[in-house]
């Protein structure tokens, strides 16, 4: 191999190393259930260099805008899912992406469900990790919750998002 070919091969290997997919240990999943215990979606969480990427595949939701949050406890007992506790908030901030004293680490943008009730979306949360600092997979776990209404992004503690429509325990 000539010198320029070795440099090119090294550059390609380096680029492939950076593009290598996340390992299984850096992933988690969650099955969303409605208050009656019916499965209404799947969430895959992948640790990425800038946070956690959540991939949601949802079906059977009412059309409209709905708050999407990470809650502090990995328990989803229906019908109200209050067992999931408050929003994930390891830094004790106030609620809201637009709140100067916030946001909670579990605050995320609203999701928009079309008339079909089905949607596939991805959301990057840069304030959490799966392990280490701000870990979702800590001793009491965490939960993904979808609310009946939209988050207003300012009101503490939960953005006036209404009741919890669906809940999913985050697991490895």
| pLDDT per residue as tens digits for the range 27-50 | 999 999 999 999 999 999 999 999
**Residue 60 belongs to domain with CATH number:** 2.60.40.200
Tally of structural domains, the chain? 1
In a domain, 1, yes or no: no
For residue 6, the model assigns a pLDDT of 39
Q: Is residue 17 classed as helix, strand or coil in its secondary structure?
A: helix
pLDDT score of 8 more than 70: no
Q: Is residue 148 classed as helix, strand or coil in its secondary structure?
A: coil
In a domain, 125, yes or no: yes
Q: Is the dihedral of CA 170, 141, 130, 149 positive or negative?
A: positive
For residue 161, which of 69, 27, 47, 88 has the smallest C-alpha distance? 69
Mean pLDDT of 79-99: 94
What are the angstrom distances between the C-alpha of 4 and each of 14, 159, 162? Answer: 15, 57, 62
In a domain, 147, yes or no: yes
- A 10 A CB-CB count for 48 gives 13
Q: The whole model's pTM is what? A: 0.83
């Amino acid at each position: 191999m000539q010198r320029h070919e070795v440099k090119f091969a090294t550059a390609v290997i380096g680029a492939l190393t950076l593009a290598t997919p996340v390992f299984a240990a850096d992933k988690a999943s969650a099955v969303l259930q409605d208050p009656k215990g019916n499965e209404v979606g799947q969430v895959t969480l992948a640790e990425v260099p800038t946070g956690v990427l959540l991939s949601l595949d949802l079906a059977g939701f009412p059309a409209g805008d709905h708050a999407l949050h990470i809650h502090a406890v990995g328990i989803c007992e229906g019908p109200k899912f209050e067992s999931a506790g408050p929003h994930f908030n390891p830094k004790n901030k106030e609620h809201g992406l637009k709140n100067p004293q916030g946001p909670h680490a579990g605050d995320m943008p609203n999701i928009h469900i079309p008339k079909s009730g089905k949607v596939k979306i991805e959301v990057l949360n840069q304030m959490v990790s799966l392990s280490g600092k701000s870990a979702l997979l800590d001793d009491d776990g965490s939960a993904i919750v979808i609310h009946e209404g939209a988050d207003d992004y300012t009101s503490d503690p939960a953005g006036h998002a209404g009741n919890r429509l669906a809940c999913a325990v985050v697991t490895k």
